[in-house]
Amino acid sequence: MVAPQDIAEASPGKLNASWPSWPLAVGLVALSIPAAITLANQTWASEEGAHGPLVLVTAAWLLWRQWPELRRRAQPGSPWIVAIGLAISLLFYVFGQAFDFITLNAAGLYGAGLVMLYSLFGAREIARNWFIFLYLLFAVPPPRSLLDNLTLPLKQFVSVAATALLRPFGIPVTHEGVIIYVAQYQYLVEDACSGLNSIVGLLAISLFYIYLSRGSSLRYSLFLAALAIPIAVIANIFRIIILILLTVFMGDDVAQGFMHVTAGIIVFATALALIFGLDSLISALSGRRKFA
């Protein structure tokens, strides 16, 4: 039973925050269903967007974990800001849905969710829990044109690096642009092997790990994220090297079959373990509070 004095001391904002805005919540669910179907068909089924569901689930868990604190500190946001934010978010959502532009579609849904949370808890609590909302942005797929511009130089770099590392060992490999020639075979280095997918996945998981182990330390998050980028690129160079060696010694069927996917998983897991290992080493050498 709640004591009368407890009720008297509670602010109206905190009492209102304990009751979700049902119209906004129902509307958000209605928007989420078609967006989730589109994401599942276009992005989540591919290697470049495979981290999306993981980000959504873990971000939801982080939000659920903070929910009691959010309710306790809640100061509901301005209705005018909510109305303007929803109008802009819905404009993005409808435009993305109508023209099959998945980035705008997902961004509109993200904005609508953020506005709903602002209406319940206010700007101060959104800012206090900034990491969760920044982390959730990894679930929004970037524009295809941006990916193409980023992956092309990465594909060229990993092609050059992989062939340069193998030639001194007498491996019959050369390259022309993003095409690698191995004996009588030729392979196109695809977007999945460029390293960009690994960079995004490693960044998302690394930031999640940092938040759990260190809290929302912006400086350390940026520091470890900077380390994750070269690690992801180097990991994909070795992924290509593994596939070339499999082709030379075991044949094209093995390299392009089950081992193609397995090599990617092993290399990604190794890169992730290296990130965790570097974090532990840095903690041991410099102390956990240095970057806090």
The pLDDT tens digits of the residues spanning 109-147 come to 999 999 989 988 989 999 988 889 989 988 888 887 777
Residue 187, H or E segment = strand 185-188
d(CA 208, CA 288): 17
Q: Note whether residue 277 is domain-resident.
A: yes
From 139, 158, 184, give the residue that closes a domain: 139
Is 128 noted as a catalytic residue in this protein? no
Q: What are the C-alpha distances in Å from 39 to residues 17, 22, 197, 213?
A: 31, 25, 16, 30
- Give the three-state DSSP class for 143: coil
Q: Note whether residue 214 is domain-resident.
A: yes
Q: Are residues 149 and 133 in the same domain?
A: no
Identified catalytic residue from 73, 167, 219, 239 = 239
d(CA 142, CA 146): 7
From 104, 139, 174, give the residue that closes a domain: 139
d(CA 227, CA 153): 19
Residue 191: domain span: 145-286
255 and 173 Cβ atoms separated by less than 8 Å = no
Q: Note whether residue 292 is domain-resident.
A: no
From 139, 160, 177, give the residue that closes a domain: 139
Is 239 noted as a catalytic residue in this protein? yes
Judged against a pLDDT cut of 70, whether residue 192 lies above it is answered with no
Total structural domains within the chain: 2
Q: Are residues 127 and 155 in the same domain?
A: no
Q: Note whether residue 186 is domain-resident.
A: yes
Q: 161 is written with which tokens?
A: 């690096």
pTM of the model: 0.72
User: Whole-number mean pLDDT of the chain?
Assistant: 77
Work out the angle between the directed axes of helices 79-98 and 22-39 (0-180°, nearest 10): 20
Q: Note whether residue 291 is domain-resident.
A: no
Q: Are residues 77 and 209 in the same domain?
A: no
Q: Are residues 196 and 245 in the same domain?
A: yes
Identified catalytic residue from 65, 124, 144, 193 = 193
Count the residues in the chain. 292
pLDDT band at 100 (very low <50, low <70, confident <90, very high): confident
d(CA 62, CA 85): 23
